[in-house]
A and B are shown apart, each in its own frame.
Chain A
Amino acid sequence: MEQKNRELAAAKEQWEKNLREKILPRFPERKERFLTHSEIPVETLYTPLDTENTDYLEELGMPGEYPYTRGVQPTMYRGRTWTMRQYAGFGTAEETNRRFKYLLDRGQMGLSVAFDLPTQIGYDSDHPLSFGEVGKVGVAIDSLKDMETLFKGIPLDKVSTSMTINSPAAVLMAMYIVVGEKQGVSMEQLSGTIQNDILKEYIARGTYIYPPEPSMRLITDTFEYCSAHLPNWNSISISGYHIREAGSTAVQEMAFTIANGIAYVEAAIKAGLDIDEFAPRLSFFFNAHLNFFEEIAKFRAARRIWARIMKDRFGAKNPKSLMLRFHTQTAGCTLTAQQPDVNIIRVACQALSAVLGGTQSLHTNSRDEALALPSEDSVLIALRTQQVIAYETGVTDTVDPLGGSYFVEDLTNRVEKAAMDYINRIEAIGGAVRAIEEGFQQMEIMDSAYKYQLEIESEERVVIGVNRFQIEERSPQDLLRVDPVLEENQRRKLSQLKQERDPLAVSGSLDRLKEAATGTGNLMPLILEAVRAYATLGEICDVLRDVFGEYQQKAIF
Chain B
Amino acid sequence: MTNPVRILVAKPGLDGHDRGAKVIAQGFRNAGMEVIYTGLRQTPEQIVHTAIQEDVQVIALSCLSGAHRYLFPKVMELLKSEGVDDIIVLAGGVIPEEDIANLKEAGIREVFTSGTPIKVMLEFINENTGPVGGVL
- Residues of B with C-beta under 8 A to A137: 15, 65-66
Contact A338 B19 (CB under 8 A): no
- Residues of B with C-beta under 8 A to A475: 97-98
Contact A206 B66 (CB under 8 A): no
Which secondary structure dominates chain A's binding surface? Answer: loop
A8 contacts the other chain (CB 8 A): no
A457 contacts the other chain (CB 8 A): yes
- Residues of B with C-beta under 8 A to A476: 97
The CA of A151 and the CA of B14, in the complex, are separated in Å by: 26
Within 8 A of A (CB), among B66-111: 66-67, 69-71, 74, 94, 96-98
Closest Cβ of chain A to B94, distance in Å, is 7
Contact B115 A371 (CB under 8 A): no
With A136-B67, A337-B113, A555-B39 as known contacts, state yes or no: A206 contacts B13, CB within 8 Å. no
The CA of A200 and the CA of B88, in the complex, are separated in Å by: 34
With A132-B71, A337-B115 as known contacts, state yes or no: A553 contacts B40, CB within 8 Å. yes
Closest Cβ of chain A to B119, distance in Å, is 6
Contact B27 A482 (CB under 8 A): no
- Residues of A with C-beta under 8 A to B18: 206, 246
Contact A131 B70 (CB under 8 A): yes
Residue from A136, A245, A337, A484 with most neighbouring chain B CB atoms (10 Å):
A136
Closest Cβ of chain B to A141, distance in Å, is 15
Contact B97 A117 (CB under 8 A): no
Within 8 A of A (CB), among B26-74: 26-27, 37, 39-41, 43, 65-67, 69-71, 74
A205 contacts the other chain (CB 8 A): yes
Residue from B13, B16, B118 with most neighbouring chain A CB atoms (10 Å):
B16
- Residues of A with C-beta under 8 A to B118: 453, 457
Closest Cβ of chain B to A465, distance in Å, is 9
- Residues of A with C-beta under 8 A to B37: 555, 557
- Residues of A with C-beta under 8 A to B40: 206, 553
The CA of A457 and the CA of B117, in the complex, are separated in Å by: 6
Contact of A337 among B14, B15, B66, B114 (CB under 8 A): B114
Contact of A246 among B19, B41, B97, B98 (CB under 8 A): B19
The CA of A476 and the CA of B67, in the complex, are separated in Å by: 20
With A136-B66, A466-B115, A475-B97 as known contacts, state yes or no: A129 contacts B43, CB within 8 Å. yes
Within 8 A of B (CB), among A74-100: none
With A129-B43, A137-B65 as known contacts, state yes or no: A201 contacts B115, CB within 8 Å. no
Contact B26 A338 (CB under 8 A): no
Contact A117 B14 (CB under 8 A): yes
B132 contacts the other chain (CB 8 A): no
Chain A interface size range: 35 or more
Contact of A333 among B15, B19, B119 (CB under 8 A): B19
Contact B22 A338 (CB under 8 A): no
Contact A206 B15 (CB under 8 A): yes
Closest to B23 in A: A453
Contact B119 A336 (CB under 8 A): no
- Residues of A with C-beta under 8 A to B17: 205-206, 245-246
With A370-B94, A370-B114, A453-B23 as known contacts, state yes or no: A201 contacts B16, CB within 8 Å. yes
Contact A450 B23 (CB under 8 A): yes
Closest Cβ of chain B to A503, distance in Å, is 28
Q: How many A-B residue pairs have CB under 8 A?
A: 102
Contact B41 A129 (CB under 8 A): yes
Contact B23 A482 (CB under 8 A): no
The CA of A339 and the CA of B18, in the complex, are separated in Å by: 25
The CA of A203 and the CA of B23, in the complex, are separated in Å by: 16
The CA of A481 and the CA of B17, in the complex, are separated in Å by: 20
The CA of A245 and the CA of B17, in the complex, are separated in Å by: 9
Contact B69 A132 (CB under 8 A): yes
Closest Cβ of chain B to A183, distance in Å, is 31
- Residues of A with C-beta under 8 A to B71: 132
- Residues of A with C-beta under 8 A to B70: 131-132, 484
The CA of A520 and the CA of B52, in the complex, are separated in Å by: 45
Closest Cβ of chain B to A396, distance in Å, is 34
- Residues of B with C-beta under 8 A to A555: 37, 39
Contact with B along A528-557 (1 / 0, CB 8 A): 000000000000000000000000010101
The CA of A131 and the CA of B96, in the complex, are separated in Å by: 19
With A370-B114, A449-B19, A553-B39 as known contacts, state yes or no: A482 contacts B66, CB within 8 Å. yes
A297 contacts the other chain (CB 8 A): no
Contact B66 A449 (CB under 8 A): no
With A205-B16, A337-B115, A450-B23 as known contacts, state yes or no: A372 contacts B96, CB within 8 Å. yes
Closest Cβ of chain A to B17, distance in Å, is 7
A133 contacts the other chain (CB 8 A): yes
- Residues of A with C-beta under 8 A to B114: 336-337, 370
Contact of A449 among B23, B43, B94, B113 (CB under 8 A): B23
Closest Cβ of chain B to A92, distance in Å, is 15
Contact with B along A111-133 (1 / 0, CB 8 A): 00000011011010000111111
Closest Cβ of chain A to B86, distance in Å, is 26
- Residues of A with C-beta under 8 A to B27: 450, 453
Contact B113 A206 (CB under 8 A): no
- Residues of A with C-beta under 8 A to B115: 336-338, 370, 463, 466
Closest Cβ of chain A to B68, distance in Å, is 8
A373 contacts the other chain (CB 8 A): yes
The CA of A207 and the CA of B13, in the complex, are separated in Å by: 12
- Residues of A with C-beta under 8 A to B119: 457
What are 29 A-B residue pairs whose CB atoms fall within 8 Å in the complex? A117-B14, A120-B14, A130-B14, A131-B70, A132-B13, A132-B70, A133-B14, A133-B15, A133-B65, A136-B67, A137-B15, A137-B66, A205-B17, A206-B15, A206-B16, A206-B17, A207-B14, A247-B19, A336-B115, A337-B115, A370-B115, A449-B23, A450-B27, A453-B118, A476-B97, A479-B98, A481-B96, A484-B70, A557-B37
* Shortest beta-carbon contacts, A-B, top 8: A206-B16, A132-B70, A475-B97, A132-B67, A117-B14, A136-B66, A553-B39, A133-B67
Apart from A123-B14, A137-B65, A456-B117, what 8 extra A-B contacts exist at CB < 8 Å? A117-B67, A120-B14, A121-B41, A128-B43, A129-B13, A131-B70, A206-B40, A484-B70
